[in-house]
A = this chain, B = another copy of it.
Amino acid sequence: MAKKTSTYSISDLAQEFGVTTRAIRHYEELQLLQPERQGQKRIYSPADRTKLKLIVRGKRIGLSLQESGELLSMYEPGGSNVAQLERMLEYIGTSREKLSQQLRDISAMLDELDKAETGCQAELETLRKSRALT
């Protein structure tokens, strides 16, 4: 059976994820991606694509590239010795706490937005009423 190993060019991915090719190369400089090469050209695998997806997602929630890199490293087999795995579990725990805190922060923000919106609408109402009296 022929393998359906689809690949992507750098601009394919750039377009799909709304980033520049320069940014993608930058992620490679920081070791977050290691695409194959065909001559000079970079060839991205589906796995590379997934990594990039995680990177841009990380960016949206305010992770630094370094943090994203650490998270990415968890998807690679890596040194599977007990110590490594335990450090990994600890890192997972820490990450989860950070994310949970972010969830709380965002919920709080959304609540405040609701309040602000309500107040805003009320003000608009009174403004319109007073205008109707003119």
Contact with B along A41-77 (1 / 0, CB 8 A): 0000000000000100110111100000001001100
In the complex, what residues of B have CB within 8 A of residue A110's CB? 96, 99-100
- Whole-angstrom distance between the Cβ of A123 and the nearest chain B Cβ: 6
In the complex, what residues of B have CB within 8 A of residue A106's CB? 61, 99, 102-103, 106
Cβ–Cβ contact B61 & A120, under 8 A = no
Tell me the count of chain A residues lying within 8 A, CB to CB, of chain B: 40
A89 at the interface (CB under 8 A from B): yes
A128 to B101, CA, bound (A): 33
Number of copies: 2
Contact with B along A112-134 (1 / 0, CB 8 A): 11001100110110011000000
Contact with B along A89-108 (1 / 0, CB 8 A): 10010011001111101101
Cβ–Cβ contact B80 & A123, under 8 A = yes
In the complex, what residues of B have CB within 8 A of residue A105's CB? 57, 60-61
A112 to B116, CA, bound (A): 34
What residues of chain A have their CB less than 8 Å away from a CB belonging to chain B? 54, 57-58, 60-63, 71, 74-75, 80-82, 85-86, 88-89, 92, 95-96, 99-103, 105-106, 108-110, 112-113, 116-117, 120-121, 123-124, 127-128
